Structure 1
Amino acid sequence: MAQVSQHLWFAKDMNAAISFYVSLIPGSTIEWVKPLPADTPSGPAGSVQLASFTLGDQRYQAIEAGPLDNFNHSFSIVLECSDQSELDRIWDALKDGGEVEQCGWLRDRWGLSWQIVPSRLGELLDDPDQEKVRRVVEAMLNMVKIDVKGLEEAAAQA
């Protein structure tokens, strides 16, 4: 059976990045990190590093092979948090040295885009009352870091 993994290309600091990610997300592990034992267009044998790791239940591979294309919004990692305290912990850690954006998005210090959202957001967006959903979406659109209490208050408005 075929297996699917996301692949990340780091210009530098791959080991630091994946070690940091694994430390933040429960159930995450680094399977292996190893140098490529052959000369490549990116450098001599041993200078290019490969890695395999999991973040939660998702498989990733990574390469550190110098600059190629920067990370951008066309690929982001969505991290669904069980509650506000987990969201706050992860948000604060990832934004350190990075850049925050609207609607729960941020770029970490390596330029990788993340969407840090509470599981409650999905529940509220799945409500059959479309007027309630509209209020929740409008509230979210005015947030940088998602605030569960603010979403709940928007949902409860009459």
Structure 2
Amino acid sequence: MVDDRGQLYTIEGFAAAIIMVFTVLLVLGSTTVYTPGDSHISDLQLEQLGHDVLWTMSVPPAPDAPSPLQQDIGGYQPAAFNASFMNGINNKTGSEIDTLQYSASVTCRDAGNNIIQTPFISSRNLTGGEHAVRVTEWVLVKQTCPPFEVGPETPHAMLVEVLLWRE
């Protein structure tokens, strides 16, 4: 004599397995929700890009030569800094150019040991609605604080601070 109850349990098991596989595929195929808690990831990527560009500008072309960043900051050449920095932050592998903007300033100590922060150059002024990240790099120069006159022969440090945001 054959028991038919086993066939019913087998069919029920296959149906449950199909429903579970379909549910897993539906969950894995759903779109990812971008929550406000994940916004720090794009900030970190933007900050890393700014650090990389400033670092590459800090590398001298020859062992005893000044770096492009030292020349731009020490020689007070905002146009040269703008060209190098904008080229670094807005380059992409495709044909499109990125829309990153920045505002750079230089901080140093004068002869009276006072801290002076001087705006250096901006690609566009901040309006207050942008979400900017801060990127810094120390530069050794032979110039004094503003007005950037040639100072003592021993190099001293100036802090280049860049606020970077996506337009």
- Bin for the TM-score computed over the shorter chain: under 0.3
- Structure 1 or 2, whichever has the larger Rg, is 2
Normalised by the size of structure 2, how large is the TM-score?
Answer: 0.24
Give the structure with the larger strand fraction: 1
Normalised by the size of structure 1, how large is the TM-score?
Answer: 0.24
- Structure ranking higher on relative contact order (CA contacts 8 Å, 6+ apart): 2
